[in-house]
Amino acid sequence: MQFEDEGYIVGARRYGESSLIVDVVSKNHGLLAGFVKGGGGKKNLAVYQTGNKISFFAYARIEENMLSFRSELLAADAVNFMNSPERLAALSAFCALSISCLPQKENLEDFYNRIDDFFNFLLKENWLAYYCFFEFYLLEYLGVGLDLSACADTGTTHDLAYVSPKSGRAVCRESGLPYAARLYRYPRFIVDENYFPDKTEIADLLKMTGFFLNKNFFKAHGLKFPENRANLLENLNLY
């Protein structure tokens, strides 16, 4: 078995004296783990860093064996995280969610574009908005997305203001106002594809996606919610 692909490194651990086992979120084959001979040596030190984008040739004698990678660096994105605690916190959450949630050896299709956006716009002032879109569409990709099209109570599509934590459906302002303290804020910037939300909108969105990821995916599969994601809002100073 052999194929070529590209993707982002989300984990690397030493194997033996100088080799690595590298975890990659790839465009056409989902989450992959591969053996890199000599990957931990000085020559490759800058390549196999979490957050870097690589192209790689993957091969194995039989499908059941672990893949081996031969890689080339496409983008040294890891350096863009190092001097920013906030960006580093987002990267840690991204890696933890990717390793826990994404399928192995499956085409990520359009969802890969959301991953690409997070890295491609990392140095922009509004970079965190792209991380928010990643989490929101991760829910959709996992099949546990939210229904934001109409009010769960009245069926109206107007003045949607909240999201129910129980159903994951939108609630209009009139129906939700008496229970506002128990509801999540409707993510208008996501629905409108607005990439310039304010900090309050970002915080509200991440509280909501964190809740539904934990409830609908992690708890549903008997998994522990990753600590790096659980602490994200605090690490981003959004509380």
pLDDT of residue 61: 80
pLDDT of residue 172: 98
**Phi then psi for 116, rounded to 5 degrees?**
-55, -45
Q: For residues 56 and 7, what is the distance between their CA atoms, to the nearest angstrom? A: 8
SS3 letters across 86-105:
HHHHHHHHHHHHHHHHCCEC
Tokens of 115: 């991953």
Starting at the earlier edge strand, list the strands of the sheet with 160-163.
170-172, 160-163, 184-185
pLDDT of residue 105: 87
pLDDT of residue 67: 93
- Which residue segments constitute the domains of the chain, with CATH numbers given? 2-75 (2.40.50.140), 84-148+187-235 (no CATH)
pLDDT of residue 63: 67
pLDDT of residue 109: 92
**What pTM was estimated for this model as a whole?**
0.95
Residue carrying the six token digits 């690589």: 54
pLDDT of residue 185: 98
pLDDT, mean of each 10-residue run, the chain (239 residues): 95 91 97 93 90 95 82 96 96 98 94 97 97 98 97 97 98 97 98 97 98 97 97 94
Helix and strand tally (H, E) in the chain? Answer: 9, 8
Alpha carbon 200 to its chain centroid, in Å, reads 20
pLDDT of residue 43: 86
The sign of the CA dihedral 85, 40, 225, 124 is positive
Q: Count CB neighbours of 171 within 10 A.
A: 24
pLDDT of residue 107: 95
